[in-house]
Structure 1
Amino acid sequence: MKNANEHEERHKAVELYNEGIGFNEILKRVQRTRGWLAKWLRRYKEQGVDGLRDQSRAPKKLWRKTPERMVKKILSIRDELEAHKTRRSVFSGIGPEVIRWELKQRGVKNAPSIPTISRILSKHGKTGKAKPKRNSSNQPYPYFRTQKMGDLHQTDLVGPRYLRGPKGVTRFYSFHTMDVAGHTVFASQFSNKQTISLCKHLVETWRNIGIPEVSQMDNEMAASGGGRYQYSISQVIRLHLLLGIHMVFIPQGEPGRNASVESFNALWQERVPQRHKCPTMYSIRRTSRRFMQYYHYEKPHRGLTDKGHGTRFPGMLRDHLWKTLRHLPKEFSLDKYIGANGHLKLPVSRGRISFVRKVDSHGRIDVNSFPYFIRRKLEGQYVIATIFTHRRKLVVKQDKDIIKSFPFPIKDKIVAPLLSYANR
């Protein structure tokens, strides 16, 4: 009973009613509404004095309670997946979506929904790790379009990581590139993160998942060039320009702007080096290739639907859309641009490179590690600074409006790209 006085008022109202007192008079004496009086008189007539007590609002029956047999099946599959002993579970996850997929693969009828499986796992202490926090900002961010496969690639690296084998410790890096709309990924491992390694990774990526209109990365030195010279153009940027790709650098210190590939990084680390013993570069590459096969053709992706994409498997979607994607010229090779000293020397092609930047408290942004004053009143807001190589200019925009422009005197001769530049 929430309130003893409330209980007394109900009894008083019923007694007055039994004495023949009219509705209006009863309402005056108990100071309640007509609906309140009608409710408790109805309860009294149906249940007697016991009807004047507060009743539990909990449902009398759990009509949709999951059968105990199904609960045991779900927990059994969860334990089986966690052991990673079967061919299907060697790279699989252990979450509710994977468990529901496994139930359907085994022909289990009336499989519970993903939220129901999630509640069952939580009740039995079988929940996984919390998701990492993404970047949060009150300022609008200038995202690039990702409507279809080939619109946007995100590239990042994992490392350094270490392999321990009979010949000692081997350091390696794993480069990952993801097509954001299609969820296809290419991964390659190198013993260093030098520019030539990143360029080799990108070329093989584009051979396997097509060339994007926009390629997005963080400000890793191998990609940006490190900012040794204010007007320098790194070899990675030159590679993008040569193939007609708009390269975009995300803001410094905001890795969450590359959220799609960052999520894959965590998945790859969990399913490949942390789950499998790989003593050599050969073994880590072989295991990674096996995982990529699983990821593309055996693991249904939550971002794909049969209705919207015709398949839930990234590899099948890529195969279906292969002819619609842009591709490397057949004879293209980095070897053509490697000098006698082993260094890469690519030309600067006509095109553009963009830097998404947040204006600091002094009204400045950094491009190539050099400051450019924009406006103090734009502090904390995002702008896009774009280098147009053929115009030798750096143009700063916000919401498509030009805020400021600066000369960007590139010394190299500007050549035509090998592929047509996509208009945006």
Structure 2
Amino acid sequence: MKEEEKQRILAVRRFFAGEKPDSICSSLGRSRPWLYKWIRRHSDHEDGWFSSLPKRPVHTANRTPFEIEEIVKLVRLNLYNQDLFCGAQAIRWELEDLGVSPLPSLRTINRILKRNDLTHRRTGKYEPKGTPYPKLPSLLPNQTHQMDMVGPCYLTGPIRFYGINVIDTATARCGLHSSLSKSGQDVLDGLWAIWLRLGIPDNLQVDNAMSFLGSPRFPRAVSQFVRLCLLHDVEPWFVPMAEPWRNGIIEKFNDHYQQKFLSKVTMTTTDELAAGTMTFELRHNSSYRYSKLGGKTPIKALSASKATLKFPNPDDKPQLRLEKPEAGRYHFVRLIRSDLRLNILGELFPVPPELKLEYVVATIDVKEQKLKLYLGKTQVDEFDYKIR
């Protein structure tokens, strides 16, 4: 038994033996409230009345309710089992859609996940092979956009559509446009509508879809997509063939777009599709928080950057056919294989042996009518390239 507990028992015994409280307190160096506290505890006939009670409150005012914590755990497990995003942001969106109240903050959800050992990640993440790969700048808003076309997708009914998705790699702002086809004009309309909201980028990275490149029958003809870019001082970048992960930011966003929009919202008409697309874009840009942005939303990140964006003139909406540009550059990133051939839209160009198994940038300079080959920042070769 602790010394303090012995003192409490002795004090109470002396009191019930008839000794005056002042005498007891004076001899023990205690106050009268202290003595009366232990007399009261003794009188309540509690077992172990002389022992100290825990000082921690029975109910913590800011503790997340048990029911909310259980819902967070169940939602996380459900998303994980469906092979969907299952981080704190995805969970919070799911809780918001379910109407859960009070809605926990991202910080609270992260604490719940950590407390319940639910922070492990899936395996199978892409690991770089060590070959240097050209990277585009993404420090400031609109330095680089990534773009992709998703589809075909289907409304509830026979209507088929394609999603044109763009994301700013610096601020994670997204721009969305839903189109009934992937024709040249629809791609121009979609990109133009997105530029009106996001602004015009310096670089635009895409894959090698015909909607962006044009017909392979005419490899040196400048596609309408490229023409629109060059006419507004945007440099298109085409990632290597069959390497979609090089456009990784937009590819990851596409999964989010599928999970949180297409699979969630029931739409039966093109009007509902247009409204739903804009609602999702606004919701993402104004409320989705990214760890790479320090917990900011895309809109907050843009505001914090204090950047001045460039927007197109709404009255200059592009129409097929756009005029052939007289200047500008567009780029192809390609891996040089053991045959030492550079493949640009089906045309083969010989390259030096030192480029074997290296990623190079093939830049078409419209003004000079040249195809320039770069390894890193060093130009290693050049070819005449008359565009049509």
| TM superposition score normalised by structure 2 | 0.72
Instruction: For 1:353 and 1:298, locate their aligned partners in 2 and report how far apart those are by CA, in whole Å.
Output: 34
Structure 2 counterpart of 1:114, one-letter code: N
Structure 2 residue 316 is matched with structure 1 residue 332: yes
Gaps of 5+ in 1: 1-66, 85-91, 307-311, 412-424
Q: Alignment partner of 1:303: what SS?
A: helix
Instruction: For 1:82 and 1:281, locate their aligned partners in 2 and report how far apart those are by CA, in whole Å.
Output: 34
Instruction: For 1:187 and 1:145, locate their aligned partners in 2 and report how far apart those are by CA, in whole Å.
Output: 22
Instruction: For 1:141 and 1:313, locate their aligned partners in 2 and report how far apart those are by CA, in whole Å.
Output: 29
Q: CA RMSD in A?
A: 3.4
CA deviation string 1:374-415 (max 9, x = no partner): 13442221000001111000000102222111101124xxxx
Deviation of 1:238 after TM superposition, in Å, equals 0.7
For 2:164, which of 175, 182, 191 is the aligned residue? 175
- Whether contact under 8 Å (2:364, 2:372) holds in the other structure is yes
Q: Alignment partner of 1:232: what SS?
A: coil
Structure 2 counterpart of 1:327, one-letter code: F
Partner of 2:335: 358
Structure 1 counterpart of 2:283, one-letter code: Y
Structure 1 counterpart of 2:316, one-letter code: F
1:310-321 map, 5 Å: 312-318=296-302
1:159-238 map, 5 Å: 159-165=151-157, 169-238=158-227
- Whether contact under 8 Å (1:100, 1:114) holds in the other structure is no
Deviation of 1:245 after TM superposition, in Å, equals 0.8
Partner of 1:21: none
Distance 1:182 1:378, change over 3 A: same
Instruction: For 1:100 and 1:236, locate their aligned partners in 2 and report how far apart those are by CA, in whole Å.
Output: 37
Partner of 1:385: 362
Partner of 1:88: none
The farther-off stretch of 75-84 and 187-196 is: 75-84
- Whether contact under 8 Å (1:226, 1:368) holds in the other structure is no
1:268-287 map, 5 Å: 268-287=257-276
Partner of 2:346: 369
Larger of the two Rg values belongs to structure: 2
Instruction: For 1:358 and 1:77, locate their aligned partners in 2 and report how far apart those are by CA, in whole Å.
Output: 44
Partner of 1:296: 285
Gaps of 5+ in 2: 1-59
Deviation of 1:219 after TM superposition, in Å, equals 0.5
- Whether contact under 8 Å (2:140, 2:307) holds in the other structure is no
Deviation of 1:100 after TM superposition, in Å, equals 7.7
Structure 1 counterpart of 2:148, one-letter code: D
Deviation of 1:302 after TM superposition, in Å, equals 2.6
Q: Alignment partner of 2:159: what SS?
A: strand
Identity of aligned residues (%): 24
- Whether contact under 8 Å (2:173, 2:198) holds in the other structure is yes
Q: Alignment partner of 1:384: what SS?
A: strand
- Whether contact under 8 Å (1:135, 1:257) holds in the other structure is no
- Whether contact under 8 Å (2:205, 2:239) holds in the other structure is yes
Structure 2 residue 76 is matched with structure 1 residue 76: no
1:410-421 map, 5 Å: 410-411=387-388
Distance 1:347 1:72, change over 3 A: same
For 2:144, which of 142, 147, 152 is the aligned residue? 152
CA deviation string 1:352-375 (max 9, x = no partner): 111111002201121122211113
Aligned length: 318
Partner of 1:346: 323
- Whether contact under 8 Å (2:328, 2:365) holds in the other structure is yes
